[in-house]
A and B are shown apart, each in its own frame.
Chain A
Amino acid sequence: MKLFWKEHIPLLLFYILQMALVPLLYWLTGEGRPFAIVFYGILLSTSILAVYLGYRYLSQRTLYKQLNSPPALEGEALQPMGETPLAEAVYKLFGHYDRHYQEEGHRERSRMDQHIVFINRWVHQMKTPLSVIQLMVQELEDTAADSVREELERLRKGLEMVIYTSRLERFEQDFMIKPTALQLVVNQTLAENRQLFIRKGITPKIQLEGDWKVSTDPKWLQFMINQILINAANYTADTGKNVFIRAYEQEASTVLEIRDQGIGIVKEDLKRVFNPYFTGERGRQYHESTGMGLYLVREVCDRLGHKVELDSEPGVGTVVRLIFGKDGPLRS
Chain B
Amino acid sequence: MYTILIVEDDTKLSGLLHSYIRKYGFDAKEVESFDDVMESFKKTKPHLVLLDVNLPKYDGFYWCRQIRTYSLCPILFISAREHQMDQVMALENGADDYITKPFHYEVVMAKIRSHLRRVYGEYSLGHEEKKTEAGTLVLYPERLLVTYGKTGAELTQKEAILLEALMAKEGRVVSRNQLLDLMWADHHFIDDNTLNVYVSRVRKKLKELGTQMAVETIRGAGYRLSSEAGDSI
Residues on A lying within 8 angstroms of B by beta carbon are 123-125, 127-128, 130-132, 134-136, 138, 152, 156, 176, 187, 190-191, 194-195, 197-199, 201, 203-204, 206, 219, 240
Residue of B at shortest CB range from A217?
A: B84
17 additional contacts, CB 8 Å, given A124-B54, A130-B101, A135-B16? A124-B81, A127-B80, A128-B13, A132-B10, A132-B12, A134-B102, A134-B104, A135-B13, A135-B17, A138-B105, A156-B102, A194-B181, A195-B181, A197-B184, A201-B192, A203-B190, A206-B189
Q: Which residues of A contact B1 (CB under 8 A)?
A: none
| B209 contacts A by Cβ under 8 Å | no
A124-B81, A135-B13 are contacts. A194–B102 as well, Cβ < 8 Å?
Answer: no
Q: Which of B16, B181, B189, B192 has the most CB of A within 10 A?
A: B189
> B16, B80, B81: which contacts A136 (Cβ < 8 A)?
B16
Q: Which residues of A contact B38 (CB under 8 A)?
A: none
Q: Which residues of B contact A204 (CB under 8 A)?
A: 189
Residue of A at shortest CB range from B13?
A: A132
Residues on B lying within 8 angstroms of A by beta carbon are 10, 12-13, 16-17, 20, 54, 80-81, 84, 101-105, 177, 180-181, 184-187, 189-192
Q: Which residues of B contact A124 (CB under 8 A)?
A: 54, 80-81
Main SS class of interface, A? helix
> A131, A152, A197, A201: which contacts B101 (Cβ < 8 A)?
A131
Q: Are A125 and B80 in contact (CB under 8 A)?
A: yes
Q: Which residues of A contact B80 (CB under 8 A)?
A: 123-125, 127-128
Q: Are A187 and B54 in contact (CB under 8 A)?
A: no
> A130, A187, A195, A197: which contacts B187 (Cβ < 8 A)?
A187
Q: Are A203 and B191 in contact (CB under 8 A)?
A: yes
B111 to chain A, nearest CB (A): 15
Q: Which residues of B contact A198 (CB under 8 A)?
A: 177, 180-181, 184
Q: Are B184 and A194 in contact (CB under 8 A)?
A: yes
Q: Are B185 and A194 in contact (CB under 8 A)?
A: yes
> A152, A191, A197, A201: which contacts B185 (Cβ < 8 A)?
A191
- Give complex CA distance A138, B84 in Å: 27
Residue of A at shortest CB range from B104?
A: A138
- Give complex CA distance A201, B184 in Å: 13
Q: Which of B16, B17, B80, B103 has the most CB of A within 10 A?
A: B80
